[in-house]
C-alpha cells in the first residue's frame, strides 16, 4: 500500500513539474527572443540537477544497482528523446505557438505513442482491444478541439500595436536565420505548419521517453541515480554543446537577459525534477503503460491553469469548447491507461513429472 501511495506521489510530482514546464519556458524564450538560448539553459539545469548532484550523492552514499552497457545506452536514448522533445516545445513556441494549446497537444499525443511503443517492446499488440482504440480516438478528438478553440490573444488596439506585432513575428523568423514572410496570410499558414511539426517532434520524443527510460532503469538493476545521470549527460550534449556550436552558423540574434536565463533555468529544473519523478514512480512499481498516460493526462490541466495565471489571460478567452477539449484529452488518456496493453506474463517454469515406476 505504501509503495502504491509513493508511486502516486511520484506521478503527481512529474505531472506538476511537466505541467508547469511549458508556461515557464515560454517566458524564458520571450525574454531572450531566441530558440537556442533557453534550450542551453534547460540543458545547464539538467546538467546540475541530473548529473552533478546525483554523482555527488552516488559517491558519498552509494546506491543499489550497477552500471551496465545496456542500461547506459537505453538511458542515453531516453535523455536524447527528452532533449529532442524540449527542442520541439521551444520551436513550437518560437513559431508562434502558445503553451496553453501547444502543451495539451503534446501531452495528448504522447500517451498514444507511449502505449504503442510499450506494446511493441513487450510484443503485446494482441492485447489492443476496442476500448483502447476508443481512448485513442478521444485523445485525438480532444487534441483537435484544443487546437481549434485555443484562446486567442487580444487584438492590438491601434496601428502602432499592429506594427509591433508584425515586427515581433519577423524577429521570430530572424532568430532561426530565415527571412520573414512578406504577406501576413502566408506567414500564418507557414508558422501553423511549423508549430504542428514541432509539436509532432515533441509528441513522438516524449511519448518514447517512458518506455525507453524504464528499459534503461531495469537494465541497471533498479538504480535511480544512474539512469538520471545518463539523462543529464544526453541533455548536456544535445541542449548545451550542440546549440552553442550552432548559434554562429544560424545567426542567432537573441540576447542573454537575467530574467530570460532565470525563467529558462526554472523550466529546465522542472523538467529534470519531472524526470526524477518518473524514475521514482518506476522504482515504486509503476510501468510505462500506467505511469506515463496518467502523467500526460494530468499535465495539460496543470499547464492550462498555470498559463492562465502566469500570463494573466482573461478567463473569458478560455471557451467552454476549449475546456471540453481538455476534458476529452484527459478522458482519452485515462481510457488508454485503463485498457492499454499490459504485456505478457512470464511463462511458468516447467516442472518435471516424477517418473512412473
pTM: 0.76
State pLDDT tens for residues 78-121: 999 999 999 998 888 888 888 778 888 888 788 888 888 888 88
State pLDDT tens for residues 167-197: 444 444 344 444 444 444 444 444 788 889 9
Spell out a b/e string for 182-196, using b for 16 or more CB atoms within 10 Å of the CB, else e: eeeeebeeebeebbb
User: Could you give the angle at the alpha carbon of 143 between the alpha carbons of 142 and 148, nearest 5°?
Assistant: 95
User: CB of 240 within 8 A of CB of 40?
Assistant: yes
Q: Which residues of the chain have pLDDT under 70?
A: 1, 147, 152-190, 311-313, 315, 337, 340-357
Among 266, 235, 224, smallest CA distance to 46 is for: 235
Q: What is the DSSP letter of 127?
A: G
Residue 40 sits at φ, ψ, to 5 deg, of: -65, -40
Q: What is the pLDDT of residue 241?
A: 93
Q: What is the pLDDT of residue 153?
A: 54
Amino acid at each position: 500500500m505504501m509503495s502504491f501511495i509513493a508511486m502516486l506521489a511520484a506521478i503527481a510530482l512529474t505531472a506538476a513539474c511537466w505541467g508547469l514546464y511549458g508556461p515557464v519556458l515560454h517566458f524564458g524564450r520571450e525574454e531572450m527572443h531566441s530558440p537556442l538560448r533557453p534550450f542551453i539553459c534547460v540543458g545547464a539545469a539538467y546538467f546540475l540537477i541530473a548529473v552533478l548532484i546525483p554523482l555527488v550523492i552516488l559517491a558519498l552514499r552509494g546506491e543499489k544497482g550497477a552500471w551496465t552497457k545496456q542500461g547506459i545506452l537505453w538511458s542515453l536514448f531516453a535523455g536524447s528523446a527528452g532533449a529532442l522533445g524540449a527542442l520541439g516545445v521551444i520551436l513550437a513556441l518560437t513559431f508562434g505557438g502558445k503553451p496553453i494549446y501547444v502543451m495539451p497537444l503534446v501531452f495528448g499525443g504522447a500517451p498514444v505513442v507511449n502505449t504503442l511503443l510499450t506494446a511493441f517492446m513487450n510484443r503485446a499488440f494482441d492485447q489492443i482491444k476496442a476500448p483502447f482504440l476508443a481512448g485513442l480516438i478521444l485523445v485525438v478528438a480532444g487534441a483537435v478541439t484544443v487546437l481549434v478553440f485555443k484562446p486567442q490573444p487580444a487584438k492590438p488596439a491601434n496601428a502602432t500595436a499592429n506594427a509591433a506585432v508584425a515586427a515581433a513575428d519577423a524577429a521570430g523568423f530572424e532568430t532561426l536565420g530565415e527571412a520573414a514572410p512578406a504577406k501576413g496570410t502566408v506567414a500564418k499558414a507557414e508558422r501553423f505548419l511549423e508549430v504542428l511539426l514541432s509539436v509532432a517532434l515533441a509528441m513522438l520524443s516524449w511519448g518514447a521517453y517512458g518506455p525507453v527510460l524504464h528499459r534503461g532503469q531495469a537494465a541497471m538493476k533498479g538504480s535511480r541515480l544512474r539512469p538520471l545521470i545518463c539523462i543529464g549527460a544526453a541533455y548536456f550534449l544535445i541542449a548545451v554543446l550542440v546549440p552553442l556550436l550552432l548559434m554562429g552558423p544560424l545567426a542567432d540574434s537573441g540576447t542573454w537577459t537575467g530574467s530570460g536565463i532565470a525563467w529558462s533555468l526554472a523550466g529546465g529544473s522542472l523538467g529534470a525534477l519531472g524526470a526524477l519523478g518518473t524514475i521514482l514512480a518506476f522504482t515504486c512499481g509503476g510501468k510505462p503503460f500506467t505511469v506515463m498516460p496518467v502523467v500526460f493526462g494530468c499535465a495539460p490541466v496543470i499547464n492550462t491553469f498555470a498559463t492562465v495565471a502566469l500570463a494573466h489571460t482573461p478567463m473569458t478567452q478560455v471557451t467552454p469548447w476549449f475546456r471540453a477539449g481538455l476534458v476529452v484529452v484527459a478522458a482519452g488518456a485515462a481510457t488508454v491507461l485503463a485498457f492499454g496493453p499490459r504485456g505478457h506474463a512470464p511463462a511458468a517454469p516447467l516442472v518435471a513429472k516424477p517418473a512412473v515406476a
